[in-house]
Amino acid sequence: MTKTAQEIALMAESGRLLASVFGYLDRLDLLGLSTLQVNDLVEKYIVDTLEARPASKGQYGFAYAMNTSRNEVVCHGVPSASDILRDGDLVNFDITLEKNGYIADSSKTYLLGSVSEAGRKLVDVTYEAMCKGIEAVRPGARLGDIGHAIERHARAHGYSVVREYCGHGIGRDMHEPPEVLHWGKANTGLTLREGMTFTIEPMLNLGKADVRTLADGWTVVTCDRSLSAQFEHTVAVTRDGVRVLTLRPDEQRLGA
């Protein structure tokens, strides 16, 4: 479950490359593109420019390099030529990347054009909730501390936390122990130790927490069709705190 310093260094390199993928997305004019077009651009960038592997492609039979989850889609959205990104949309891009045998996993919710104030606030609070979870990570802390910090922040702003999906250990495999819940009680659960690596990836809904999976077997949506947002990072427990392995250049304050 814990990784050596050398393994974490390799994961950090995968994380650095994955952060650059989001930098690439930041520079794209996304309006009017289909989510399949974005997927294809990202796959080409990972393979040709970064000489890495999109780890989601082929995982559990998934055919694409990324998940594209728009508006009421909570997670696992499937790229499609008919799913066009439009003014006012929220869209989460969830991407995994493997380099030298180690995987990094991260996601970011983008605001496209003139997003409603309610949508903007949801995205801001979801990012803040992820940060609260990251700040709870240190040796001797408990997994429940992460979920408690996230849920408390979400509820303080009137949002619900999706319970069906959680963070996870990561390394050579995309999904390893432990499960990292985004809700829970402080001072409960597994004790964190130096060398653990896992994702923190809360999904917050503007309405109720209830979700359902569509007929494609992948796409998860809010039952009440309310907006949903998500952010995700891969982190490592360090001797005296936490290191965000997928840190983007605009997020240096998370690097403590």
pLDDT value at 238 more than 90: yes
Q: Taking the domains of the chain in order of start, what are their residue ranges? A: 3-247
Q: What is the mean pLDDT of residues 19-32?
A: 98
User: Can you say how many angstroms the Cα of residue 34 is from the centroid of all Cα atoms in its chain?
Assistant: 21
Q: Which of 256, 244, 250, 253 has the alpha carbon at shortest distance from 12?
A: 244
Q: What pLDDT score does 251 carry?
A: 86
What are the binding residues for a divalent metal cation? 94, 105, 168, 201, 232
What are the binding residues for substrate? 76, 175
Whose tokens are 């209830």? That residue is: 210
Q: Is the dihedral of CA 128, 96, 179, 76 positive or negative?
A: positive
Q: Are 231 and 126 in contact (CB under 8 A)?
A: yes
pLDDT value at 14 more than 60: yes
Query: pTM above 0.85?
Result: yes
What are the binding residues? 76, 94, 105, 168, 175, 201, 232
What SS3 string covers 80-102?
CCCCECCCCCEEEEEEEEEECCE
Maximal C-alpha separation, the chain: 48
Q: What is the mean pLDDT of residues 97-116?
A: 98
Q: What pLDDT score does 252 carry?
A: 64
CATH topology for 3-247 is Creatine Amidinohydrolase (3.90.230)
Q: What pLDDT score does 253 carry?
A: 63
- Rounded to 5 degrees, φ, ψ at 79 are -55, 140
Q: What is the pLDDT of residues 154-179, one digit of tens each?
A: 999 999 999 999 999 999 999 999 99
Q: What pLDDT score does 249 carry?
A: 82
pLDDT value at 254 more than 70: no
